[in-house]
């Protein structure tokens, strides 16, 4: 079965055709990064307008690039939230129009469910339940996934999301948006260097004993204080990136391992844009070997926002009968735990 996925929750206009939730026939991502760069972050109004301009060409390219016709598509899956409301509205409206005109079933997908779909896309044999770490520009959450639409939140950030902290720390050093990949690259360059006297040393926030919540605001403030107090030569920037990244990765890995142990889970799934971080990937791999659990992280291209992941999740949801009516509305705030109730109401 071919599912057309549509994703417009943030700053990527994306459409993809995926066969049986695992084989990607086309995957088109039109990034708005250049449009937002000069503002140092995403401007919601600019994002909505760009989605309006991009959605039709992106849909055409995804369908024609798949080698299939609209009449071959078995379901349209679209991100319905959480995200920027004006941006979501463009994708949801396009999906509804397609579903109505071509008489295809419609599936509403939570954006985090979408990120989870990226893991299923590449490893369809993952057995549930599993623990999932979602690390993106908007989320740093740990979930216990018993099944589709059966999600229990184990912990979440109390302030900034990990990706947001990356982007903000990069911005204060004058590095381009989005800062995550830039800091990742610079941290890697400086990884092997010996410690420097007076070099940056930032806190790791573990919060109360046993807590699976996160906090990155103290780390961000420590970085800000250091950047203000020191001359930012290339080397100093590199060292800040290295220390910042080590602090983020250390906490993410320890809390993920703690979550896996707390549920005696056999598998950890990691999803979201920050899951493409090279240091996080290798630290998690080490932790999975040491603690004997299976680690599933999608390839870097499927970690950041795309529509193949939405189509993959949409396929599984369709199989479970989770279709939506044409009254489907996007929701800016849509917690994963709410998906079960929504499903039961439908």
The residue ranges that bind ligand KG4 (CB under 6 A) are 10, 136-138, 163, 166-167, 178-181, 184, 272-274, 276-277, 304-305
In this complex, which beta carbon is closest to Zn ion, that of residue 243 or of residue 305? 305
Helix pair 278-291, 179-190: axis angle to 10 deg: 70
Contact status: 305 vs Zn ion (CB under 5 A): yes
Structure tokens belonging to residue 28: 């088109």
- In angstroms, give the least distance from the CB of 184 to ligand KG4: 4
By the 8 A CB rule, do 123 and 296 touch?
yes
Instruction: Give the count of residues interacting with Zn ion (CB under 5 A).
Output: 2
- In angstroms, give the least distance from the CB of 138 to Zn ion: 7
Strands 23-31 and 12-19: antiparallel
- In angstroms, give the least distance from the CB of 163 to ligand KG4: 3
Residue owning tokens 């060409």: 57
Structure tokens belonging to residue 235: 């080397």
Contact status: 136 vs Zn ion (CB under 5 A): yes
Name which of ligand KG4, Zn ion, none residue 277 binds, using a CB cut-off of 5 to 8 Å depending on partner kind.
ligand KG4
How far is it, in rounded angstroms, from Cα 43 to Cα 343? 32
In this complex, which beta carbon is closest to Zn ion, that of residue 83 or of residue 238? 83
- In angstroms, give the least distance from the CB of 176 to ligand KG4: 11
In this complex, which beta carbon is closest to ligand KG4, that of residue 181 or of residue 330? 181
How far is it, in rounded angstroms, from Cα 241 to Cα 301? 22
If you ran DSSP here, which 8-state letter would residue 38 be given?
Answer: T
Angle at 46 between CA 42 and CA 52, to 5 degrees: 125
In this complex, which beta carbon is closest to ligand KG4, that of residue 104 or of residue 119? 119
How far is it, in rounded angstroms, from Cα 163 to Cα 248? 10
Nearest to 139 by CA among 173, 114, 176, 121: 114
Name which of Zn ion, ligand KG4, none residue 180 binds, using a CB cut-off of 5 to 8 Å depending on partner kind.
ligand KG4
- In angstroms, give the least distance from the CB of 136 to Zn ion: 4
The DSSP-derived string for 188-205 is HHHTTSPP-TT-------
Name which of ligand KG4, Zn ion, none residue 276 binds, using a CB cut-off of 5 to 8 Å depending on partner kind.
ligand KG4
Q: Choose the stretch contacting Zn ion; rule: CB under 5 A; options: 48-56, 132-140, 211-219, 288-296.
A: 132-140
- In angstroms, give the least distance from the CB of 292 to Zn ion: 30
- In angstroms, give the least distance from the CB of 208 to Zn ion: 28
- In angstroms, give the least distance from the CB of 283 to ligand KG4: 12
In this complex, which beta carbon is closest to ligand KG4, that of residue 83 or of residue 200? 83
Neighbours of 24 (CB within 10 A): 20
Name which of Zn ion, ligand KG4, none residue 166 binds, using a CB cut-off of 5 to 8 Å depending on partner kind.
ligand KG4
- Which helix (H) or strand (E) segment is 135 a member of? strand 130-135
Name which of Zn ion, ligand KG4, none residue 54 binds, using a CB cut-off of 5 to 8 Å depending on partner kind.
none
Handedness of CA 291, 296, 297, 299 (dihedral sign): positive
In this complex, which beta carbon is closest to ligand KG4, that of residue 179 or of residue 200? 179
Handedness of CA 316, 317, 320, 321 (dihedral sign): negative
In this complex, which beta carbon is closest to ligand KG4, that of residue 244 or of residue 318? 244
Angle at 132 between CA 126 and CA 137, to 5 degrees: 130
If you ran DSSP here, which 8-state letter would residue 157 be given?
Answer: B
By the 8 A CB rule, do 303 and 276 touch?
yes
Name which of ligand KG4, Zn ion, none residue 184 binds, using a CB cut-off of 5 to 8 Å depending on partner kind.
ligand KG4
- In angstroms, give the least distance from the CB of 311 to ligand KG4: 16
In this complex, which beta carbon is closest to ligand KG4, that of residue 2 or of residue 255? 255
**Partners of 150 in the beta sheet?**
147
In this complex, which beta carbon is closest to Zn ion, that of residue 136 or of residue 256? 136
Sequence-ordered list of residues with C-beta below 8 angstroms from that of 313, at least 6 positions apart, any chain: 21, 77, 109, 113, 114, 116, 117, 120, 148
Q: Which residues bind Zn ion (CB under 5 A)?
A: 136, 305
């Amino acid at each position: 079965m071919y599912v057309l996925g549509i994703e417009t929750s943030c700053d990527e206009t994306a459409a993809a055709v995926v066969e049986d939730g695992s084989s990607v026939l086309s995957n088109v991502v039109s990034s708005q990064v250049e449009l937002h760069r000069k503002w140092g972050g995403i401007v919601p109004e600019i994002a909505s307008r760009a989605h309006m301009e991009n959605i039709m060409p992106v849909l055409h390219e995804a369908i024609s690039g798949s080698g299939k016709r609209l009449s071959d598509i078995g379901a349209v899956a679209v991100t319905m939230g959480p995200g920027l409301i004006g941006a979501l509205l463009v994708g949801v409206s396009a999906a509804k129009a397609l579903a109505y005109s071509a008489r295809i079933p419609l599936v509403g997908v939570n954006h985090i469910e979408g990120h989870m779909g990226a893991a299923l896309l590449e490893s369809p044999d993952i057995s549930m339940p599993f623990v999932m770490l979602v690390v993106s520009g908007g989320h740093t959450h740990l979930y216990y996934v018993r099944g589709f639409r059966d999600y229990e939140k184990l912990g979440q950030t109390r302030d900034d999301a990990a990706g947001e902290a990356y982007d903000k720390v990069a911005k204060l050093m004058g590095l381009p948006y989005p800062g995550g990949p830039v800091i990742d690259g610079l941290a890697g360059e400086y990884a092997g260097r010996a410690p420097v006297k007076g070099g940056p040393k930032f806190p790791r926030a573990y919060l109360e004993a046993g807590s699976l919540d996160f906090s990155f605001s103290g780390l961000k403030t420590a970085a800000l204080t250091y950047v203000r107090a020191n001359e930012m030569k290339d080397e100093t920037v590199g060292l800040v990136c290295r220390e910042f990244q080590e602090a983020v990765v250390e906490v993410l890995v320890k809390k993920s391992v703690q979550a896996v142990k707390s549920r005696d889970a056999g598998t950890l799934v990691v999803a979201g844009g920050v899951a493409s971080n090279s240091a996080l990937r290798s630290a998690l791999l080490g932790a999975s070997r040491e603690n004997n659990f299976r680690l599933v992280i999608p390839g870097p291209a499927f970690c950041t926002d795309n529509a193949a992941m939405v189509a993959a999740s949409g396929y599984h949801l369709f199989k479970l009968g989770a279709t939506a009516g044409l009254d489907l509305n996007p929701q800016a705030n849509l917690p994963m735990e709410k998906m079960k109730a929504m499903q039961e109401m439908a």
